[in-house]
């Protein structure tokens, strides 16, 4: 079953190189804006969410939109939802071709509770369940950026717990999620060495790198100055790419391609590959609002007002107009992994022709 689902995802990604997809294969879904962090790069933690989607509504969304092969569940802090296991189950039960589900965590919840819920999700049999542990610096720097004393040590502890869990569950994958910003510019290798002191077997490939960017509909950080110096951060990303090990898997090839192009984007501000938002992926927030991406504050509709059908919203005039904007190159310019991976696998000929 796992191989079949993997091939299904590969097939739809390959198909997207030659024709426009009728429906997206990836859903980015923020299940809550609750968060215990006090980040200097993000304002999600300042939101006091009310009337977020209930589990019965999420079940209906999963039932009526069962074509997703990749679900990225995000927040806020996802483990602040007591029903996070039920949310994962809703999509796995209904999306018969689901291959990969991902979740980030700030590691601030009770670690026993978090590990228990992760194990419950792993027991479902999702072929690839990936956890990203947010880590933006060495001990003092990470705690400063995240606004929580002791956060670094909690992240390291969670990583060690996941290493133990990995011996039992082969479908578990996890990495550190490092977001480059003006707060930690030039500090990645110092951070890596600090982590290596705590986890000697750690490798550069165990870090997923992103660039801090502005999003009014997700991070709510449009009033912040978080952009690092373009040239120096581009050089830092290039050094990270050179430090990583060879491309031994499709995932590593995509990640390395993402990073090489992230270096170019950091220097120029120009996305290196055509955007595939709406066609390949969409963003659903915890209130049921549907957007083309986490970086584009263009509301396409709300599932509560459309009988919980994402498909109906994607066939609306608002979605068709947004697709035209993308086609004409008028969409916001960004390069984040939430959408960039789909752009990479959907533009293979142009990537290898360079």
Residue 59 sits in a domain of what CATH number?
3.20.20.70
- Burial (CB < 10 A; 0-12, 13-18, 19+), residue 136, is buried
Helix 230-243 and helix 250-268: axis angle, to 10°? 160
What is the distance between the alpha carbons of residues 143 and 132, in angstroms, rounded to a whole number? 17
Q: Return the pLDDT at 10.
A: 65
Q: Return the pLDDT at 227.
A: 85
If one compares 11 and 23, the residue with the highest pLDDT of the two is 23
What is the distance between the alpha carbons of residues 38 and 165, in angstroms, rounded to a whole number? 29
How many domains does the chain contain in total? 1
Q: Return the pLDDT at 64.
A: 98
What is the distance between the alpha carbons of residues 71 and 90, in angstroms, rounded to a whole number? 11
* pTM for this model (two decimals): 0.94
Average pLDDT (305-332) is 95
Mean predicted lDDT score pLDDT of the chain: 92
pLDDT over threshold 90, residue 342? no
CB-CB contact of 272 with 336 (8 Å): no
Model confidence at 350, pLDDT cuts 50, 70, 90, reads low
pLDDT over threshold 60, residue 217? yes
101: left (phi over 0), alpha (psi -120 to 50) or beta: beta
Q: Return the pLDDT at 251.
A: 75
H or E segment and range at residue 105: strand 100-105
Report the percentage of the chain scoring pLDDT > 90: 73
- Burial (CB < 10 A; 0-12, 13-18, 19+), residue 82, is exposed
The parent domain of residue 121 ranges over 2-352
Q: Return the pLDDT at 349.
A: 58
pLDDT over threshold 60, residue 352? no
Q: Return the pLDDT at 238.
A: 95
What is the distance between the alpha carbons of residues 150 and 31, in angstroms, rounded to a whole number? 26
Average pLDDT (249-253) is 75
């Amino acid at each position: 079953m796992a191989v079949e689902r993997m091939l299904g995802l590969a097939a739809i990604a390959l198909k997207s190189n030659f024709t426009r997809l009728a429906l997206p294969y990836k859903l980015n879904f923020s299940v809550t804006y609750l968060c215990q962090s006090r980040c200097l790069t993000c304002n999600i933690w300042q939101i006091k969410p009310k009337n977020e989607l209930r589990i019965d509504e999420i079940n209906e969304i999963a039932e009526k939109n069962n074509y997703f092969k990749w679900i990225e569940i995000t927040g806020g802090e996802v483990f602040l939802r007591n029903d996070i296991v039920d949310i994962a189950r809703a999509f796995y039960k209904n999306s018969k071709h689901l291959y990969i589900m991902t979740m980030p965590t700030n590691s601030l919840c009770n670690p026993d509770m978090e590990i228990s819920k992760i194990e419950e999700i792993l027991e479902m049999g999702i072929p690839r369940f990936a956890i990203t542990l947010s880590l933006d610096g060495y001990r003092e720097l990470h705690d400063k950026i995240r606004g929580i004393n002791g956060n670094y040590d909690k992240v390291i502890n969670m990583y060690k717990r996941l290493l133990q869990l990995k011996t039992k569950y082969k479908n578990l994958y996890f990495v550190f999620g490092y977001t480059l910003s003006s707060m930690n510019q030039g500090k990645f290798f110092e951070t890596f060495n600090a982590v290596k002191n705590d986890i000697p077997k750690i490798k550069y490939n165990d870090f997923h790198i992103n660039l801090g960017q502005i999003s009014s509909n997700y991070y709510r950080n449009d009033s912040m100055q978080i952009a690092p110096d373009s040239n120096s951060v581009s050089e830092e990303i290039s050094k990270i790419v050179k430090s990583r090990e060879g491309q031994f898997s499709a995932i590593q090839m995509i990640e390395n391609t993402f990073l090489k192009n992230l270096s170019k984007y950091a220097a120029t501000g120009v996305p290196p590959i055509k955007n595939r938002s709406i066609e390949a992926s969409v963003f659903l927030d915890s209130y049921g609002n549907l957007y083309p991406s986490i970086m584009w504050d263009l509301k396409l509709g709300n599932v509560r007002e459309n009988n919980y059908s994402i498909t109906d919203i994607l066939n609306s005039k608002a979605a068709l107009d947004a697709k035209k904007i993308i086609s004409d190159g008028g969409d916001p310019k960004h390069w984040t992994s939430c959408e960039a991976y789909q752009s990479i696998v959907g533009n293979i000929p142009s990537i290898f022709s360079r």
